[in-house]
Structure 1
């Protein structure tokens, strides 16, 4: 996992309550036995030297059993104000064990909450991954939909871009996700586009802004081509 420079992006949103809010967005770390302690420590240092309001991680922190990488994962507890939803790899390798280790994280699979920003209540919801059903975890879609419909200044986190409709159909201001790795290795971009509505980057649909993070780590082959990894600092702008 080679660490990139910080990418800064402004996202236009419809709700003035979110104006100037800064969100540090990570995704798809895919930490495994080959990941070095130095790399994780450097990642934490990079994040902690950035001014942000919240840090979100949109799935797939792990790529092996938690017990094999506990020393690496514990370092991540030095991150602050983290809101996290699981990805398919987290579910496969042990989401319950991951939650026990990352005790400084806010795990928000199928959860709703409010955070304070400029004395305003900002609504945040997390939808568990589409693979949840294979691990006997219910995706509480109705709960998430009803919550987002009731709150106009809202942010939705999910792992896969496919879930963008939950944001668009509820007029959610911002939808953040990952999963695609931006295709990871060209020309596999085209295969990803067959199964996901967005490959990477910023998109707007109706009243919602959608951002697909290309992630930090790799899956399968430890190689990227024409799909650079990213750490993204998002600034929300009301116009």
Structure 2
């Protein structure tokens, strides 16, 4: 169903781009056919980027994934820019018809208006996508966020949790991406590292080398991981869980572990992603929170922010999530916000604090507009 919907949207989007960028800007003839062929070729590369990495593998897919996904981002912003210009186009065309009686002159004027609109949309879209690409593939921001927790023992004041999510290793992000993230996290000098899902878009055989630098992560209390929806898109989720554990990253699969500082306790729990339900591996909050120490606050790792509703019903103090990418590309933020209680940052839902990282990678177009990537360092303080 997802493929059918996405395919329909892409087909309609490319049809609209053909109407405005090809048909309206050219006379019938060779140039129109050439531009039509170029647009069809770009659409084919995009389809290849979406479908073929699973077949040929991420390493072999890079040569067509980069142009395909860049075109995806550019096509999206061309579509939006042309839609914004649509009322202006209609007004100017009506005025031109009233003022021009000669058919040849009317055609020339319509071509000029169409080409001017296409040029404005093109320049704007290239500028936006260029900026967004530099932001997406560059180093993530390191955010310092204080969080006040009720019941936090004074011995745990200043406890630092590095939160990272949505790394999306695959055809566009490989070992160098992981190495940079590991270096930045280690520089943050965290007590605990929380990886809240969507690390990979491929199998262990395909991306094991790209994930290998995780073994170099350093923290006083360890590195913990929960599955995201993309971990269930690979052929064998368990293989990745075993591989991450081999690299020193501890999966929390509907379970919890206490972090102790003297007599103080911080409960760290994790639940599987909602996508796991299809494979009888979904979230189980009761199991994840069973046996947590009543005298210490509970921090829950859960990939999707929407899972906070069940966390709040069970008295969780703080949930750490990702998944949204902060919307990744404005104005698509609004579509994501319709499904999730928060896009990014710290908020409170029914008494439970929710922190959502924008993620350290990207999915689809290597473009981030209005949603820069981040690694967040949360510093725990006692609520007055």
Shift of 1:46: 1.6
Partner residue, 2:237 = 95
Aligned mates of 1:143, 1:48 — CA distance in 2: 31
Partner residue, 1:227 = 371
**Any gaps of 5 or more consecutive residues in structure 2?**
1-136
| Residues 106-165 of structure 1 deviation map (CA, whole Å, 9 limit, x = unaligned) | 100211211223542221111110111112214323223544594642111100001112
| Residues 194-224 of structure 1 deviation map (CA, whole Å, 9 limit, x = unaligned) | 1111111100235422101110111111111
- State which drifts further: 105-114 or 2-11: 2-11
**Any gaps of 5 or more consecutive residues in structure 1?**
none
Aligned mates of 1:232, 1:134 — CA distance in 2: 31
Mapping of residues 52-201 of structure 1, within 5 Å: 52-80=190-218, 81-93=222-234, 94-102=236-244, 103=246, 104-147=248-291, 150=294, 152-201=296-345
Q: Would you say the 8 A contact 1:74–1:101 is kept in 2?
A: no
Q: Would you say the 8 A contact 1:200–1:212 is kept in 2?
A: yes
Partner residue, 2:184 = 46
Aligned mates of 2:373, 2:295 — CA distance in 1: 33
Output the aligned Cα RMSD. 1.8
Partner residue, 1:5 = 141
Partner residue, 2:56 = none
- The answer to whether structure 1 residue 24 and structure 2 residue 165 are counterparts is no
Q: Would you say the 8 A contact 1:84–1:106 is kept in 2?
A: yes
Change (3 A) 1:13 1:28: same
Count of aligned pairs between the two proteins: 239
Using the size of structure 1 for normalisation, the TM-score is: 0.93
Q: Would you say the 8 A contact 1:47–1:79 is kept in 2?
A: yes
| Residues 168-209 of structure 1 deviation map (CA, whole Å, 9 limit, x = unaligned) | 222222110010001110111110111111111100235422
Using the size of structure 2 for normalisation, the TM-score is: 0.59
Partner residue, 2:10 = none
Aligned mates of 1:232, 1:10 — CA distance in 2: 10
Shift of 1:50: 2.0
Aligned mates of 2:269, 2:282 — CA distance in 1: 15
| Residues 4-48 of structure 1 deviation map (CA, whole Å, 9 limit, x = unaligned) | 231111112112224221100001000113324333222212212
The structure whose Rg is larger is 2
Q: Would you say the 8 A contact 1:15–1:173 is kept in 2?
A: no
Aligned mates of 2:196, 2:306 — CA distance in 1: 13
